[in-house]
Amino acid sequence: MQIPDRNDIVKLYEKLFRKLNAPNTLTSQTQMNTDRILYVRLPCNPIFPIGVVYLADRIHKLFPDVEQQIFDLGTIPPLDFASALDRAIDEFKPSLLVFSWRDIQIYAPVGGRGGNPLQYAFEFYYARNPLVKLRGALGGLRITTAYYTELWRNLGLIKRGLKRAKTYNPDARAVVGGGAVSVFYEQLGKSLPDGTIVSVGEGEALLEKLLRGDSLDDERCYIVGQTEPRDRMIHEKPTDFEKTACNYDYIETIWPAFNYYLQESDFYIGVQTKRGCPHNCCYCIYTVIEGKQVRINPADEVVAEMRQLYDRGIRNFWFTDAQFIPARKFIDDAIELLQKILASGMKDIHWAAYIRADNLTPELCDLMVKTGMNYFEIGITSGSQELVRKMRMGYNLRTVLENCRDLKAAGFNDLVSVNYSFNVIDETFETIRQTIAYHRELERIFGADKVEPAIFFIGLQPHTHLEEYAFDNDILKPGYNPMSLMPWTARKLLWNPEPLGSFFGEVCLEAWRRNPNDFGREVMNILEERLGCGDLEAALSAPIDTAKKSLVGASS
């Protein structure tokens, strides 16, 4: 089958909108009284827009008569964004615009739009060679310009869409939500039209209340120009509901570009198996976006949802959970799900997820391999147990190693991405040596070519413990703008403080020079050349000390 070109998709939309609206004889009064929801996924790399799909599915289950459309700007070429949005609104005449904004990608460490932001930032901040510094400055300028252009463009699309929808329905409203809005809800509201509802976290309950005309007071949202975001709103518990299998028979009737994601075999289609993470890792905001209480989606429903995608040709799935196995007490749920996947006969699938590898058992490892897990990410951040404890990550690194051995013994022979973030807190040359020892042990277990060290520098995010730490230590002042890419703010938010900041800057610059295509492994090699490899036993033990600056002691 041919993969449709993006222009074909625009045409497809037009055709479907025409069909849905013909004959176009509804009076404006009738339209005003009938909810018509247009979901607009704002421009984004083509990651399957699972968020809007779930919202539309939920609303259809509750209000089967409500007309809905999904319009995904991720499948539209940039030059057509505005005109395609206009056409979608003209044809569908929505009374409610649900804008979903997935990522703003601030401080993304690798492969950002317009180049590698980390590399440019490091060249600008740390290079000794003035030409390299200049290249960093110019690259950084390009990225900063692209970043602000995208930001203003997306805000502009929201304003434009709402204005146009109001020409058909003067009472039309806009709601905005999604990952990016959840992180930057306080800042984004300042640039949105009055009356826009700004939502944090899951939107199912909020949309339900909106359609019923119920009060939104208990939802994690505020209305621009009318209410202010409550203090620590993001920390409030999300409203619970039981998730059932998404009805893709319905979704494909309201989403003409659905096929776009089905026809490329390398897409990993999102499926959520649970929500929430009980941990407290100092830099992480997932745990507040999704809440600390883990809510499991029933295994039969997850399998039924996968089955529908499988029957449409999908073989790659990404379990979009903050963590697939958030804690030991959820091991049985993971086992139940994987057993059911196995029993379903979907034998030729692959799946990937974020995995806390401290929560594995031999049985689970066996099932992971049998059900086709072919990639996972472990975010241990450091190979030093002492630092892992100080960053409040709750990991036992010795257990992680033991479980990785079980996984290998069960036959896992695919790729593991290990996320390291150097220099988060209390890093020393000794803890770096320990991280190298730990990494080398992972390589001995899985094979050096199978373990990919993903070197991140933490981009400080609002509402995290690390932000609190930055306030307590006078690194940032309350009221700073977490969305600013101005060099003086960016330098603080792209977390790489001195005294080790310049050292890491230099190591990374050398790694890009020596082997830009295998940056992570090269960083590890250079660190080992310069500092040597530590003792694994020392890496795995964390003497209890009460270092004043550690986050372990910070208030939560």
Residue numbers of the site for ligand SF4 (CB under 6 A)? 277, 279, 281, 284, 286-287, 322-323, 356, 379
| Comparison of 54 and 120: residue with beta carbon closer to ligand B12 | 54
Instruction: Choose the one of ligand SF4, ligand B12, none that binds residue 287, judging by a C-beta under 5 to 8 angstroms depending on kind.
Output: ligand SF4
Residue 186 interface partner, choices ligand B12, ligand SF4, none, CB cut-off 5-8 Å depending on type = none
CB of 121 to ligand SF4, least distance (A): 23
Among 47, 507, 539, 540, binds ligand B12 (CB under 6 A): 47
Contact call for residue 154 and ligand B12 (CB under 6 A): no
Q: Which does 323 bind (CB under 5 to 8 A by kind): ligand SF4, ligand B12, none?
A: ligand SF4
* Beta-strand runs (E) in 227-341: 269-271, 274-275, 295-296, 316-319
Residue (of 383, 260, 291, 348) closest to 5 by Cα position: 260
494 binds ligand B12 (CB under 6 A): no
Nearer to ligand B12, 44 or 523 (CB): 44
Return the one option of ligand B12, ligand SF4, none that residue 355 interacts with (CB less than 5 to 8 A, by type): none
| b/e code 334-351 from CB counts within 10 Å (16+ = b) | bbbbbbbbeebebeebeb
Report the residue from 158, 165, 172, 180 that binds ligand B12 according to the rule CB under 6 A: 180
Q: Which stretch binds ligand B12 (CB under 6 A): 101-109, 136-144, 339-347, 547-555?
A: 101-109
**Is 177 a binder of ligand B12 (CB under 6 A)?**
yes
User: What's the CA gap between 83 and 62, in Å, rounded?
Assistant: 32
- Of 369, 266, 391, 275, give the one whose Cα is nearest residue 324: 275
245 sits near ligand B12 (criterion: CB under 6 A):
no
- Residue 184 or 286: the one with the smaller Cβ distance to ligand SF4 is 286
Q: Which is nearer to ligand SF4, 169 or 287 (CB)?
A: 287
Please tell me whether residue 482 binds ligand B12 under the rule CB under 6 A: no
Report CA-CA distances (Å) from 484 to 187, 273, 396, 475: 10, 34, 36, 15
Rounded distance, CA 495 to CA 152, Å? 25
Residue tagged 């009738």 (tokens)? 30
What residues numbered 49-68 form the site for ligand B12, per CB under 6 A?
Answer: 50-52, 54-55
**C-alpha span between 435 and 417 (Å, rounded):** 15
Q: How far is the CB of 183 from ligand B12 (least distance, A)?
A: 5
If one asks whether residue 462 binds ligand B12 (CB under 6 A), the answer comes out as: no
Scanning 169-294, the segments in alpha helix (DSSP H) are 179-183, 185-188, 204-212, 248-254, 258-263, 286-289
Helix axes 204-212, 50-62, angle to 10 degrees: 40
Q: Closer to ligand B12 at the Cβ: 52 or 410? A: 52
In sequence order, what are the residues at sequence separation of 6 or more whose Cβ sits closer than 8 angstroms to the Cβ of residue 428? 500
CB of 223 to ligand B12, least distance (A): 12
- Which strands, in side-by-side order, build the sheet including 350-354? 269-271, 316-319, 350-354, 373-381, 415-421, 451-456
Residue 272 touches which of ligand B12, ligand SF4, none (Cβ within 5-8 Å per kind): ligand B12
Nearer to ligand B12, 102 or 408 (CB): 102
DSSP element (H, E) containing 119: helix 117-126
Of 208 and 386, the one with the shorter C-beta distance to ligand B12 is 208
Binding mask 193-232 for ligand B12 (x = CB under 6 A): ------x--xxx-x--------------------------
Site string for ligand B12, 314-353 (x = CB under 6 A): ----x-x-x-------------------------------
Shortest approach of ligand SF4 to residue 285 CB, angstroms?
8
User: b/e per residue, 287-310, with b = 16+ CB within 10 A?
Assistant: bbbbbeebebbbbeebbbbbbbbb
Q: Which is nearer to ligand SF4, 150 or 333 (CB)?
A: 333
The one-letter amino acid at 185: Y
**Residue whose token pair is 């930055």:** 470
Beta strands (DSSP E) in 15-156 are 36-41, 67-72, 96-100
Q: Closer to ligand B12 at the Cβ: 183 or 364?
A: 183
CB of 54 to ligand B12, least distance (A): 4
Q: Is 45 in the site for ligand B12 (CB under 6 A)?
A: yes
Q: Cα separation of 213 and 81, whole Å? A: 32
Question: Minimal CA–CA distance to 487: which of 200, 147, 238?
Answer: 147
Residues 259-278, interacting with ligand B12 (CB under 6 A) = 268, 270, 272
User: H or E element: which one contains 452?
Assistant: strand 451-456
Nearer to ligand SF4, 379 or 534 (CB): 379
Q: Does 95 bind ligand B12 (CB under 6 A)?
A: no
**In 3D, which of 311, 298, 240, 300 has the Cα closest to residue 269?**
311
Closer to ligand B12 by Cβ: residue 199 or 359? 199
Helix (H) or strand (E) run with residue 58 in it = helix 50-62
The span from the CA of 182 to the CA of 184, in Å, is: 6
- Give Cα separations from 98 to 41, 74, 196, 236, 392 (angstroms): 8, 15, 10, 22, 36
Give contact residues for ligand B12 (rule: CB under 6 A): 44-45, 47-48, 50-52, 54-55, 98-100, 102-106, 108, 175-180, 182-183, 199, 202-204, 206, 268, 270, 272, 285-286, 289-290, 318, 320, 322, 461
